[in-house]
Chain A
Amino acid sequence: MKRKVFAYPYIVWMILFIVIPMLFIIYYAVNVGGDFRLDKFWATLSDGNKWTVLWHSVVMAFKTTAICLLLGYPIAYILSNMKRSVAGFISVLFFVPMWMNFVLRTYAWQAILEYFIPEIKTMLGLEGSVLMVLVYDFLPFMIMPLYNTLSKIDKSLLEASRDLGANGTTTFMRVVLPLSIPGIVSGITMVFIPAITAFTVPALIGNGMYHLYGNEIELAFKTPNAPGDYAVGSTLSIILLISVLVSTLIMNHFDKDQQTGGQMW
């Protein structure tokens, strides 16, 4: 018996539950009630409102990523320069919230903004509040890859840079920062793409008054008290998948430190 036989159950599973479900997006985009029809597909594609919401979501995701990077880089940098035992402990503290149910954390912010300190919401406005909670949810995902990359930088390189006459700022700009680019790229990927598709945060923080692209898709499929409109939802998802694919390809272009296996995605 050859060992590759052991992969067969998984291959069947993969075809049934990874490959075929993906095809359903295309199937339902052009199939209304069993008939092949393209009208809903074109109607959704030419709906200017949807594109406005998509653009708005991309901008929000961009802002979220930028703020996470600005807040997270110093954290990772400080941690990477600490003694290993101390840094190990404090970094765990930063990653614990990541493992806590994120709907519950988002709900906590909803309650804080609604009942406990409503001043925050009046100060930041609706969009600002959504942005703050998005940053809150994704910050650990930015810190983690940054911390991993920064703590792996060989400290003798920094000493070499000092010995060759560079001061602290120059060493940082010309040694640390370039070496941490793989961490920055994977941090951006880990924040930007989930942020485009976020629908929980706007749904809870915005109380249904604030829509991002994820909410459009969610509403298409899960309209309260009505059967979902699969054609619209599928078309919106195709647009989303293409945007995500494009941004992943752009990221991968910058990331030369690719992991094993797939260079395809």
Chain B
Amino acid sequence: MVKKAFKPFKYVYLGLMLLFLYIPIIYLIVFSFNDFTFGRRVSYANLGVWNGFSLSNYKNLFVGEAGNALLLTLEIAAISSVLATVIGTAAAIGIYAMKKRSRNLILNVSQLPMVNPDLVTGITFMMLFAFVNGLLVRMGLAQIGDITKLVIAHVSFSIPYVIFSVMPRLRQSSDLLYEAAMDLGCSPMQALLKVVIPDIMPGITSGFIMALTMSLDDFVISYFVSDLKSVLSVYIFSCARGARGVNPALATVIFIPLVTLLLIVNLRRLAKEREYEIQSKKVKMKDKGGNIK
């Protein structure tokens, strides 16, 4: 009885909270169709007055600084997530084969970037690059550029996430698979590429997606690492701080692909959930057989 009386209240509460979470996003998307031209100039500073419908904000997105930042963001995300996935997967396979002591040491150090506040990670990179660039200048060599710095920083903070999503998969699959492949005549490399990696593929995929989203989403670390050229979030921050404001069409361009991607992933996940549950039951039965060290 009590439960029934609470039911509408529940939905109202969820609705209000969703509204709170989506107000800023909806606001930007609505105003992305606003006309911001005043005479010949475009100023996004006054984001509160409706001037009339226009699509020009979307045209402006892909030119000038905003377009460059958007392109650079995608470039850095693509390069760094692929690199992080390759290094991280190899690392997970290697670490897994190590003795307990060295394994725990490396895993503990790998957790550092995950527990460290972004702010601290950002400034440590800033100081590292300042130091190295100082040395390079003294030796008369070229300095490390913004793009290289960004890639190094992004790879570094994403690798741990790849390792920690591949590790559980390795634990689920059996060591015997690798040895069986070698017994059947595979070289270690072949055994790895043809047997181990396909077996841990779901872990690699989720690690890659994590690395990709972390890179796309990062602001704090990129902000400290780069000087002149930087990614979209740094561009947005500097615009928001200055007087010119931010082109609200960015919200639509980020939001629509994001929602589509999340919906696809989740629909797939819901379908796979059942399959996965059956599999993990099997693994549990194997565990009981004393297969795991």
Contacts and interface: CB of A to CB of B under 8 A. Distances in A.
A and B part of one assembly: yes
Interface of A: 1-11, 13-14, 17-22, 24-25, 27-28, 71, 74-75, 78-79, 85, 88-90, 92-97, 99-112, 114-116, 136, 139-140, 168, 193-194, 196-197, 199-200, 203-204, 208, 214, 217-218, 221-222, 230, 233-234, 237, 240-241, 244, 248, 260-262, 264-265
Contacts of B110: 14, 18, 261
B123 A233 contact: yes
25 contacts: A3-B96, A3-B192, A4-B98, A7-B94, A17-B153, A21-B127, A25-B124, A27-B127, A85-B270, A92-B266, A97-B22, A99-B258, A101-B236, A103-B219, A104-B236, A108-B24, A108-B27, A139-B21, A197-B117, A197-B119, A234-B127, A237-B119, A240-B120, A244-B116, A260-B168
Q: Which of A3, A8, A194 has the most CB of B within 10 A?
A: A3
Given A96-B262, A104-B236, A168-B2, A217 B123 contact: yes
B25 A108 contact: yes
A77 to B, nearest CB: 9
A115 B36 CA distance: 14
A9 B87 contact: yes
Contacts of B28: 104, 108, 111
B48 interface: yes
Contacts of B123: 25, 217, 221, 233-234, 237
Interface string B1-29: 01100000010011001101111110110
B10 to A, nearest CB: 5
B115 interface: yes
B127 A136 contact: no
A90 B14 contact: yes
Contacts of B116: 241, 244
Contacts of B119: 197, 199, 214, 217-218, 237, 240
B74 interface: no
Interface in B205-259: 213, 216-217, 219-220, 224, 232-233, 236-237, 239-241, 245-246, 250-251, 254-255, 258-259
A99 B217 contact: yes
Contacts of B3: 168
B185 to A, nearest CB: 15
Interface string B143-160: 000000000110110010
B180 to A, nearest CB: 14
Contacts of B90: 6-7, 9-10
B207 to A, nearest CB: 13
B265 to A, nearest CB: 9
A140 B130 CA distance: 36
B164 interface: yes
Interface residues of B, number: 91
B103 to A, nearest CB: 9
A14 B91 CA distance: 11
Contacts of B27: 108, 111-112, 116
B107 A262 contact: yes
Contacts of A71: 17
A85 B266 CA distance: 11
Nearest to B127: A24
A159 to B, nearest CB: 14
Contacts of A244: 115-117
A38 B124 CA distance: 20
Chain B interface mostly: helix
A21 B122 CA distance: 10
Given A94-B17, A104-B251, 19 more contacts: A4-B94, A4-B95, A6-B94, A8-B94, A13-B155, A14-B109, A18-B109, A18-B110, A21-B121, A28-B127, A89-B266, A95-B262, A101-B233, A199-B220, A204-B241, A261-B111, A264-B108, A265-B108, A265-B112
Contacts of B91: 6-7, 9-11
Nearest to A20: B128
Contacts of B233: 101-104
Contacts of B117: 193-194, 196-197, 240-241, 244
B48 A111 contact: yes
A197 B109 contact: no
B97 interface: yes
Contact of A97 (B21, B220, B266): B21
Q: Ordered nearest first, which 8 A-B pairs have the shortest CB separation?
A: A7-B94, A115-B48, A108-B24, A10-B91, A6-B94, A21-B124, A3-B97, A261-B107
Contacts of A265: 108, 111-112, 115
Contacts of A8: 94
Contacts of B98: 4, 7
B161 interface: no
Contact of A221 (B113, B126, B270): B126
